[in-house]
Amino acid sequence: MPSNSSRILLISFNVAGHDSLALGYIKAYALKEPTVSRRTFIEILNFSNEEGDVRQALYYITEFKPQLIGFSCYCWSMQKILELARSVKQIIPEVPLVVGGPEVGPVSDKYLEQNPALDVGVHDEGEAVFLELIKYYFAGKGKLENIAGISFRKGKKIVRNEDRSPIKDLDEIPSPYLTGVLTPRDGVTYLQSFRGCPFRCGFCYEAGRHKGLRFFSYERVQAEVELIMADSGIRSFHFVDSVFNLNSKHLKKLTDILCTANRDNKQLRTIEVFAEKIDEKTVEYLIQAGVQSIETGPQTAIPETQQRIGRYFDPEKFSRAVRLMGDRGIEVWCDLIVGLPGDSFFRCAYSVAFIMNLRPARVVMSILHVLPGTQLFEQAEKFGLSFDSQPPHYVVGSDTFPFKQIYEAVLFSSAVTKEYNLALS
């Protein structure tokens, strides 16, 4: 790091061993600007959310002496980030603290109001916003009032600027892998071929964001895939696309790219698929693409609940898809959520029985988090939904699912899924 460089720290708390792809994009986009890349040193710090200690991060910050800090915030990491931000402000109050990510985006004003340590909240996609913030803080360019897509603290007031349109051409964001910002590593390398989601599931923040999908060019995806395939240390990698089998044309194109590049039988693991759309031909594509395991819903097997949360579910097509994939050796992980409005203890138990009967490789249970920006968050009253206003926003009850039943359903499902998932290979 040149001694006259400006120093920026980007921090995330993730599942142990994982790098933040989001921060990789932000850094790669910022460094595209020659004035930034010449004069700025940006470091990404990834801490384990389970083991990472706030004081360990604080120590690093005091050693690194950043002049700007950005935090990537999720429901699971927000409490740690707030704790860290409070301590940072005590030690180096002059350093602006910027928060962004799905936990903050939809409610950034509220976070600024309630947390005096925070200076700027990013409403949505962070790449272009953060670059403008770098220019503002380090080159003195422009005014915070003119940066679309942020809320910021001005004296005792919180100012909310207008939202910013997302970047239309995703190829404007350089690849964090191709630029060397992130180093591909075995099992924890995440690629992305598009942003957005065609579905509007009430519990998912992706649904509450922009309508429409935006794609990286196939040439760009191909270059990233080639880079990973050429790395002999990588045995498996992932795509973070909301739906890998978005449509047959897209799936065919990705399959061609993966199939052509995969000379070393690398495995593509835990991609998300829309199961009801899977037929024999799709399974064939997935196999050609090197897909070893997939993750899919249904979150609940209760049709009324599915309808309430705006999710499409066809039990027959879903079951057929799980069996088709399982028969061809693809590991299928089925997800269920405990606490959805419309469910109850026994409905949840039925969902578990329904899924286990399909014999997926694994059943993954989680408790409903009522996330900011989701339909369930916005319309909680309509669903009789109560939840903790503080992250990770665990559900406390709904009109059909009182807390006692939710608590019992969590214990029940944890025990039965542990027993189920102990299957020998």
Binds other proteins by CB under 8 A, chosen from 350, 364, 386, 392:
350
Which residue in 27, 39, 112 sits closest to 70, CA to CA?
A: 27
State yes or no: residue 333 binds other proteins (CB under 8 A).
no
State yes or no: residue 223 binds other proteins (CB under 8 A).
no
Binds other proteins by CB under 8 A, chosen from 34, 233, 381, 422:
422
Binds other proteins by CB under 8 A, chosen from 347, 369, 371, 393:
347
State yes or no: residue 346 binds other proteins (CB under 8 A).
yes
State yes or no: residue 20 binds other proteins (CB under 8 A).
no
Which listed range, 112-120, 166-174, 204-212, 348-356, lies at the site for other proteins (CB under 8 A)? Answer: 348-356
Binds other proteins by CB under 8 A, chosen from 12, 293, 398, 405:
405
Which residue in 139, 187, 169 sits closest to 40, CA to CA?
A: 139
State yes or no: residue 423 binds other proteins (CB under 8 A).
yes
Say if strands 40-48 and 68-72 run parallel, antiparallel, or are unpaired: unpaired
Q: Quote the distance between the C-alpha of residue 166 and its chain's center.
A: 17
State yes or no: residue 420 binds other proteins (CB under 8 A).
yes
> For residue 388, what are the contacts with CB-CB under 8 A and spacing of at least 6?
394, 396
Binds other proteins by CB under 8 A, chosen from 60, 64, 76, 412:
412
Considering the complex, state which of residue 97 and residue 409 has its C-beta at the smaller distance from other proteins. Answer: 409
Binds other proteins by CB under 8 A, chosen from 152, 239, 354, 377:
354
**Residue 153 has which token pair?**
């603290």
State yes or no: residue 359 binds other proteins (CB under 8 A).
yes
Which listed range, 20-28, 65-73, 143-151, 401-409, lies at the site for other proteins (CB under 8 A)? Answer: 401-409
| Smallest separation, CB 410 to other proteins (Å) | 9
| Smallest separation, CB 164 to other proteins (Å) | 44
Query: For 306-311, which contacts have Cβ atoms below 8 Å and span 24 or more sequence positions?
Result: 306/342, 307/342, 308/202, 308/340, 308/341, 308/342, 308/383, 309/201, 309/202, 309/203, 309/340, 309/341, 309/342, 309/375, 309/376, 310/200, 310/201, 310/202, 310/207, 310/375, 311/199, 311/201, 311/202
Binds other proteins by CB under 8 A, chosen from 353, 379, 382, 403:
353
Is residue 30 within a helix (H) or strand (E), and if so which, with residue range? helix 21-31
| Smallest separation, CB 59 to other proteins (Å) | 30
CB 332 within 8 A of CB 371: no
Considering the complex, state which of residue 230 and residue 411 has its C-beta at the smaller distance from other proteins. Answer: 411
Which listed range, 3-11, 18-26, 86-94, 351-359, lies at the site for other proteins (CB under 8 A)? Answer: 351-359
State yes or no: residue 369 binds other proteins (CB under 8 A).
no
CB 241 within 8 A of CB 194: yes
Considering the complex, state which of residue 1 and residue 415 has its C-beta at the smaller distance from other proteins. Answer: 415
What one-character-per-residue DSSP string does 409-425 give? HHHHHHHHHHHHHT---
- CA dist 9 and 84 (Å) reads 13
Question: How wide is the angle at C-alpha 62 spanned by C-alphas 59 and 66, nearest 5°?
Answer: 130
| Smallest separation, CB 388 to other proteins (Å) | 18
Binds other proteins by CB under 8 A, chosen from 92, 158, 178, 356:
356
- Considering only residues 99-128, where is the footprint of other proteins by CB under 8 A? none
Which residue in 256, 388, 273 sits closest to 332, CA to CA?
A: 273
**What Å distances lie between residue 424 and 267, 334, 419, 421, CA to CA?**
20, 17, 11, 9
State yes or no: residue 16 binds other proteins (CB under 8 A).
no
Task: State the binding string over 244-283 for other proteins (x if CB under 8 A, else -).
Answer: ----------------------------------------
- Considering only residues 294-313, where is the footprint of other proteins by CB under 8 A? 302
Task: Specify which residues 369 forms β-bridges with.
Answer: 394
- Considering only residues 198-217, where is the footprint of other proteins by CB under 8 A? none
**What Å distances lie between residue 21 and 125, 165, 175, 177, 193, CA to CA?**
13, 21, 10, 10, 13
Map 311-339 to HEC letters.
CCCCHHHHHHHHHHHHHCCCEEEEEEEEC
Residues that bind other proteins (CB under 8 A): 302, 344-347, 349-350, 352-354, 356-357, 359, 405, 407-409, 411-412, 414-416, 418-420, 422-424
